[in-house]
C-alpha cells in the first residue's frame, strides 16, 4: 500500500513538472516582492521593477535578505522614482545588469531592440511630496502581445485614464480611488488589476461589482500571464 502512494505521489510530481517545470512555458511570470517591487520574467529575460528598495523604508514592507541574493545576473532594473521604498542605490551598486530610472529614462528605448517582442513606453507622471514635485514615471510595457501597466506612486489617474486594452495594471489604491471619483471606465482600461503598495495601516476591501482585481498583500504572490 505504501508503495502505491509513493508511486501516486511521483506521478503527481511528474505531472506538475511537465506543466510548470522546464522548457518553453509561454507565460510571463510576475512575482510580487513588496511595495511596488516586482520580478517579471518570460524565462529568458529578467526584469525587476522598483526593486531593490530599502527593506522597511517609510514603514512599508520589509523583505527577506534572500530576495537580494536570488536576484538573477544581468537583469534589467526599472524604477518609477528614487524614493527609498522603491529604490536603493546601495543595493543596486552590487548588482550587474542594466538600470533605468527617471534620470536615464530616454535610454529605455534601447530595450525595445534588445528584448524580443518587447516595447516600453514611459509617461512622466506627478508625485508630489510636501508640495514638491519629484521626478516620477509610469510605464506601459508590451511584451509578447500582453500589455502591463506600472503606475508606481503617482497620485492621480490622469495618465492612467488615457490607457486602454491593458491586460494587467499595477496600481496603488489611491489611484483607484481617484479613478473612481473621475468615473473612469475601469474595465475598458484594463482587464485585470493588481493593487500594490499596501501600507501597514491600509484596510482595503474589494467591491464585488469591480472588474477583476487582486490585492497584493501577500509577498511572494505570483501572477501568470499566458501568451
Give contact residues for Zn ion (rule: CB under 5 A).
85, 153
Measured from the CB of residue 119, what is the shortest distance to Zn ion in angstroms? Answer: 26
Q: Which is nearer to Zn ion, 118 or 174 (CB)?
A: 174
Question: Which SS3 state, helix, strand or coil, does residue 75 take?
Answer: strand
Q: Is the separation of the CB atoms in 60 and 119 below 8 Å?
A: no
Q: Can you tell me the distance from the alpha carbon of 217 to that of 219, in angstroms, rounded to the nearest whole number?
A: 6
Q: Which is nearer to Zn ion, 7 or 124 (CB)?
A: 124
Measured from the CB of residue 211, what is the shortest distance to Zn ion in angstroms? Answer: 24
CB hemisphere CA count around 192 (13 angstroms): 13
Q: Which is nearer to Zn ion, 143 or 170 (CB)?
A: 170
Measured from the CB of residue 60, what is the shortest distance to Zn ion in angstroms? Answer: 7
Q: Which is nearer to Zn ion, 67 or 85 (CB)?
A: 85
Measured from the CB of residue 44, what is the shortest distance to Zn ion in angstroms? Answer: 29
Q: Can you tell me the distance from the alpha carbon of 106 to that of 104, in angstroms, rounded to the nearest whole number?
A: 5
What nine digits make up the cell of 191? 482587464
Q: Can you tell me the distance from the alpha carbon of 9 to that of 99, in angstroms, rounded to the nearest whole number?
A: 43
Amino acid at each position: 500500500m505504501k508503495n502505491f502512494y509513493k508511486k501516486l505521489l511521483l506521478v503527481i510530481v511528474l505531472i506538475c513538472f511537465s506543466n510548470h517545470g522546464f522548457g518553453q512555458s509561454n507565460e510571463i511570470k510576475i512575482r510580487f516582492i513588496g511595495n511596488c517591487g516586482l520580478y517579471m520574467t518570460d524565462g529568458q529575460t529578467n526584469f525587476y521593477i522598483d526593486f531593490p528598495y530599502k527593506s522597511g523604508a517609510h514603514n512599508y514592507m520589509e523583505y527577506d535578505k534572500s530576495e537580494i541574493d536570488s536576484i538573477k545576473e544581468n537583469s534589467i532594473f526599472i524604477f518609477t522614482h528614487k524614493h527609498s521604498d522603491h529604490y536603493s542605490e546601495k543595493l543596486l551598486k552590487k548588482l550587474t545588469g542594466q538600470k533605468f530610472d527617471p534620470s536615464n529614462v530616454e535610454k529605455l528605448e534601447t530595450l525595445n531592440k534588445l528584448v524580443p517582442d518587447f516595447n516600453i513606453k514611459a509617461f512622466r507622471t506627478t508625485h508630489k511630496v510636501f508640495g514638491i514635485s519629484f521626478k516620477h514615471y509610469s510605464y506601459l510595457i508590451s511584451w509578447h502581445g500582453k500589455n502591463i501597466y506600472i503606475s508606481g506612486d503617482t497620485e492621480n489617474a490622469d495618465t492612467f485614464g488615457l490607457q486602454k486594452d491593458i491586460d494587467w495594471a499595477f496600481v496603488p489604491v489611491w489611484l483607484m480611488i481617484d479613478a473612481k471619483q473621475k468615473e473612469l471606465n475601469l474595465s475598458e482600461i484594463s482587464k485585470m488589476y493588481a493593487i500594490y503598495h499596501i501600507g501597514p495601516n491600509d484596510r482595503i476591501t474589494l467591491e464585488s461589482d469591480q472588474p477583476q482585481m487582486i490585492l497584493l498583500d501577500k509577498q511572494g504572490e505570483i501572477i501568470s500571464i499566458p501568451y
